[in-house]
Amino acid sequence: MLKKWIPLLGAAAVCGSLSMPQAAKAETLTLCWAAWDPANALVELSKDFTAKTGINMKFEFVPWTSYADRFLNELNSRGKLCDLIIGDSQWIGGAAENGHYVKLNDFFAKEGIKMDDFVPATVVGYSEWPKNTPNYWALPAMGDVVGWTYRKDWFERPELQKEFKAKYGWDLDAPKTYDQLKQIGQFFQGREIDGKKVYGASIYTERGSEGITMGVTNVLYDWGFMYDNPKKPYEMQGYVNSPEAVKGLEFYKSLYDCCTPPGASNVYMVDSADAFKSGQVAMHMNFAFTWPGLYKDEKVGGKRIGFFPNPAEKYHFAQLGGQGISVVSYSDKRDAALKYIKWFAQPEVQAKWWKLGGFSCLKAVVDAPDFKTSQPYAPAFLESMAIVKDFWAEPSYAELLQAMQKRVHDYVVAGKGTAKEALDNLVNDWTEVFKEDGKI
Amino acid sequence: MTTSHETFTDKAAQAVVRATPEPLAARVRGLSDRAIAWLFIAPTITLLLAINIFPLFWAIYLSFTNYRANRPNAVVQNVGLGNYSRVLNDPDIWASMQTTAHFVFWTIVLQTVIGFALAYLIDRKFRGHAFWTTLILIPMMLSPAVVGNFWRFLYEPQIGLFAYAVSFLSGIPTSEIRMLGDVRLAPWAIIIVDTWMWTPYVMLICLAGLRSIPDYIYEAAEVDRASNWRQFWSITIPMALPFIMLAVLFRGIENFKMFDMVNLLTGGGPGSTTEVASIALKREAFEAWATGRSSAFAIVLFVAVFGLANIYVKILNRVKQR
């Protein structure tokens, strides 16, 4: 019986040995990320990497709604699907402490990649854990921040400008304060433009993942909301639920009540962009990654669209988005993955990344003299990236996020209780999480 | 060779041995009939143990620990009944149970009443009744994901047909009809969709019940000059009752664990208005990653459904025996 198999096994061994050098040449890296416009730009960009190294790239893109679920499950189960991952900024704490990402300090030192070459906020936001310490777990890959777009063509209509000035006493233009933002929202709410009923603004209200938290924090920072006492970490009483933060949350609800389209009770990135693209709203809150696509849009893009950073109140901040690229520690292709990061960090690759629609975090790109004029949204992006602030990036960020989603959605959208109660409850929830973590 | 003591599996095993080609049969001959029987059912038993039984016992074990699936390196500690105590004292979890109870109660009431009424009409065998039966059954054949998505569009205040129809009939502006965004309307929005989708299922079971009633009973009632109303209450309802109760049981169990449609329609919102137990459980398990606590929650749900279903089945059996 065995005799029968010997020639077959021999043939298989010969075939195997013959194909081995080829297999080494055709090594394939899998990069995991969200399914969105910048991911398509990265596919295009990565062709250069394949051409240069012979390493093929495979991509695993998951829609935003299941992005966290899918990839956190993958990391927690120590899966080998992803060799490289562009993980959300808030994952960094958990990924570092649970050993999901490869620490990159030695690699950066060996390859001469300096974190000083990147925009500081992105290094803190996407790469460092613990924050503000030189422990790097990712290379800043995709800068992103919450900002606003507006219908420039509507704002420039003489009859609307005249009516607005008469009503509010200032020229209709991109708002600089929240009062102005709300006035513009109220002005456009329910107005008929070109025979179509339009509304003031589209803001984040989504309940399922992180939507409403990203929108609310984006506003609350400016009113004085802080995650904890800067001098005593994890002391949240009086910071999360300070009177200023309460006012900020009340403002967000008032904006939701006065100025959003009917039924906008579960809106995040895609729905918000859709509301703007379909000509429903005068202004729309969204991450900057949507801007290139909106600018190219035939109906609302080009001269019809304008971009502005978050308005200011007592302070001036904006919610950080974006991600860093990391090597997954369970990957069998760690060397090839590091090669990709080395290639991606090069200034010429970063310049092309911006050109293709990605948002580079490299100073050489964003500080270049022609950067501000390179795209109409570049000035708003630069200004916004200078004022970013991020949500907790603790290992228990998921619980912290879920608590905030519930508390603020209950108040803003469902109208349950008061802003003070919502933030007081949030402090209780967060305190419990940190107690369980042994941090309090 | 066969004796009256031989079981069905023994006979089956012998039949297999007889049907097996000689070399294999020769080898199999060394095994007892019982061993062969086990050989055949082993894959199924293994799968059952791996997919159903093991996870259940594993979840019971986890429910007594502080395990978190997103902290694989953390030390797992026994917390005794801590998770159960927390689950049973959590007002948010009780709120989600209330939401579930509201949803289950109203969907069952509506589906049973409408489903039985439709079955009663279809049972009349009017002209074209086969066509109407098929038409009525269509919603139940659709995927819940599809149903959830298209009802989301139907409920859209600005472009949705539902809002337009209600506005047309009531004169309320469409922008005021926020079925999924209004805390008062959202629970009813999901009840309407579930009723639309699953009433045909209840109708089918009720129809089977109605068709199982022998005609001679009605004929005897007519001889006794019983009115249609009397026949309905004294013959139709009592004889169809076990079927109706069966439909209620199936729909009750299904709706107690309802997830997909609610998730697609409202995601549990606005706020936590439509956060049924399964959505709350998913959030606890896969968003907050409180694996130990969510396991305790799942066990509590399992015991509740299992207990209620058992009581219900006992009542059903009594009704059938009458």
**ipTM for the assembly:** 0.75
Query: Helix (H, G, I), strand (E, B), or coil: what is residue A59?
Result: strand
Kindly write down the DSSP assignment for every residue of B224-278, as one continuous string.
TT--HHHHIIIIIHHHHHHHHHHHHHHHHHHHHT--HHHHHHTTT-STTTT--HH
Distance from CA of B134 to the nearest CA of A (A): 34
Q: Do B157 and A262 touch (CB under 8 A)?
A: yes
> How many contacts (CB atoms, under 8 Å) link A and B?
93
Q: Is residue B16 pLDDT above 90, yes or no?
A: no
| Tokens representing residue A74 in the block | 């993958």
Instruction: Spell out which residues of chain B touch residue A280, defining contact as CB-CB under 8 Å.
Output: 158
Mean pLDDT value across residues B272-276: 93
**How far is Cα B229 from Cα B235, in angstroms, rounded to an integer?**
10
Query: Mutating which of A205, A410, A429 best tests the B interface, going by the most B Cβ atoms within 10 A?
Result: A410
Question: Which of A98, A207, A263 is nearest residue B178 as measured by Cβ atoms?
Answer: A263
Could A402 and B71 be called an inter-chain contact, meaning their C-beta atoms sit closer than 8 Å?
no
Q: Which chain A residues are closer than 8 Å to B274 by Cβ?
A: none
SS3 for B16? helix
Token output for A340: 């990709």
Please judge whether A410 and B271 are an interchain contact, meaning their C-beta atoms are less than 8 angstroms apart: yes
Token look-up 């569009």 returns: B153
**Closest chain B C-alpha to A300 CA, distance in angstroms:** 20
Contact B269 A415 (CB under 8 A): no
Question: What is the rounded CA–CA span in Å between residue B232 and residue A359?
Answer: 72
Q: Under DSSP, is residue A58 helix (H, G, I), strand (E, B) or coil?
A: strand
Q: Does B260 reach chain A within 8 Å, measured CB to CB? A: no
Q: List the structure tokens of B218.
A: 């009605």
Of the pLDDT bands very low, low, confident and very high (cuts 50, 70, 90), residue B31 is confident
| pLDDT tens-place string over residues A129-138 | 998 899 999 9
CA distance A256 to A68: 26
pLDDT tens-digit series, residues A192-231:
999 999 999 999 999 888 999 999 999 999 999 999 999 9
For residues A222 and A319, give the distance between their C-alpha atoms in angstroms, rounded to a whole number: 10
Report the pLDDT value the prediction gives residue A24, as an integer from 0 to 100: 46
The DSSP bridge partners found for residue B134 are none
Chain A residue with the nearest C-alpha to that of B291? A399
How confident is the model over A342-381, as pLDDT tens digits?
999 999 999 999 999 899 999 999 999 999 999 999 999 9
Q: Hey, are the CB atoms on A94 and B92 less than 8 Å from each other?
A: no
What one-character-per-residue DSSP string does A212-280 give? HHHHHHHHHHHHT--SSBTTBTT--TTTTT-HHHHHHHHHHHHHHHHHSPTT-SS--HHHHHHHHHTT-
Residues 6+ apart with CB under 8 A from A40: A357
- The three-state secondary structure class of B159 is coil
> Which residues have C-beta within 8 Å of that of residue B242, sequence separation ≥ 6?
B209, B316, B319, B320
Residues 6+ apart with CB under 8 A from B276: B96, B99, B100, B103, B258, B259, B262, B268
Please check whether residue A94 is in contact with residue A400, taking contact to mean a CB–CB distance below 8 angstroms.
Answer: no
Indicate left, alpha or beta for A302 from its phi (over 0: left) and psi (-120 to 50: alpha).
Answer: left
Alpha-carbon span A59 to A55, nearest angstrom: 13
Between A20-34, A106-120, B188-202, B242-256, the lowest mean confidence (pLDDT) is in: A20-34
Q: What is the pLDDT of residue A147?
A: 97
Residue A15 has pLDDT above 60, yes or no: no
Residues in a beta bridge with A77: none
Contact of A178 with A219, CB cutoff 8 Å: yes
Average pLDDT, chain A: 92
Please tell me if residue B180 touches chain A, with a CB cutoff of 8 Å: yes
**Is residue A291 within 8 Å of residue A382, measured between CB atoms?**
no
Residue B189 in 3-state DSSP? helix
Chain A contact present for B266, CB below 8 A: yes
Q: What is the mean pLDDT of residues A305-328?
A: 96
Residue B57 CB-half CA count within 13 A: 6
pLDDT > 80? residue A333: yes
pLDDT number for residue B27? 58
Closest-CA residue of chain A to B176? A262
Q: Which of B266, B270, B288 sits opposite A399 (nearest CB)?
A: B288
Contact A98 B73 (CB under 8 A): yes
Show residues of chain B in contact with A262, CB under 8 Å. Answer: 157-158, 174-176, 178, 181
Residue B175 and residue A262: Cβ atoms within 8 Å? yes
Nearest chain B residue to A396, by CA: B288
Contacts of A409 in chain B (CB under 8 A): 269-272
Could A72 and B71 be called an inter-chain contact, meaning their C-beta atoms sit closer than 8 Å?
Answer: no
Q: Bigger pLDDT: B188 or B288?
A: B188
DSSP, collapsed to helix, strand or coil, labels residue A114 as: coil
Cβ contact B269–A413 (<8 Å): yes
Q: How far is it, in rounded angstroms, from Cα B125 to Cα A102?
A: 71
Give the per-residue pLDDT at B130. 86
Interchain pair A264, B268: CB under 8 A: no
- The percent of residues above 70 in pLDDT, for chain B, comes to 91
Q: Fill in the DSSP letter of residue B51.
A: I
Give the residue from A207, A400, A416, A437 with the most B CB atoms within 10 Å of its CB, the best one to mutate: A207
Q: Which of A76, A411, A414 sits opposite B69 (nearest CB)?
A: A76
- Whether residue B70 and residue A76 make contact (CB cut-off 8 A), yes or no, is yes
CB within 8 Å of A401: residues ≥ 6 apart: A90, A210, A213, A391, A392, B287
Three-state SS sequence of A306-326: EEECCCECCCCCEEECCEEEE
Cα–Cα–Cα angle for A132, A313, A359, rounded to 5 degrees: 50
Tell if the CB–CB gap between B72 and A98 is shorter than 8 Å.
yes
**B223-256 burial string, b = 16+ CB within 10 Å, else e?**
eeebeeeebeeebbeeebebbbbbbbbebbeebb
Query: What is the structure's pLDDT at B64?
Result: 97
B292 and chain A: CB distance < 8 Å anywhere? no
| A335 membership: H or E segment, kind and range | helix A334-344
CB contact under 8 A, A413 and B271: yes
Residue B7 has pLDDT above 80, yes or no: no
Rounded to a whole number of angstroms, the distance from the CA of A273 to the nearest CA of chain B is 17
Judge whether A386 and A320 are in contact, CB under 8 Å. no
Residues 6+ apart with CB under 8 A from A228: A234, A235, A236, A239, A240
Amino acid identity of residue B138, one-letter, is I
Any idea what DSSP says for residue B76?
P
pLDDT tens-place string over residues B206-239: 999 999 999 999 999 999 999 999 999 999 999 9
Percent of chain A with pLDDT over 70: 94
Amino acid identity at A260: T
Q: What's this model's pTM, rounded to 2 decimal places?
A: 0.83
CA distance A222 to A179: 12
Could you give phi then psi for residue A326, rounded to 5 degrees? -125, 160
Residue B119 to chain A, least CA–CA distance (Å): 36
What is the model's pLDDT at position A18? 45
- Nearest to residue A84, comparing CAs of A124, A139, A126? A139
Band (pLDDT 50/70/90 cuts) for residue B13 is low
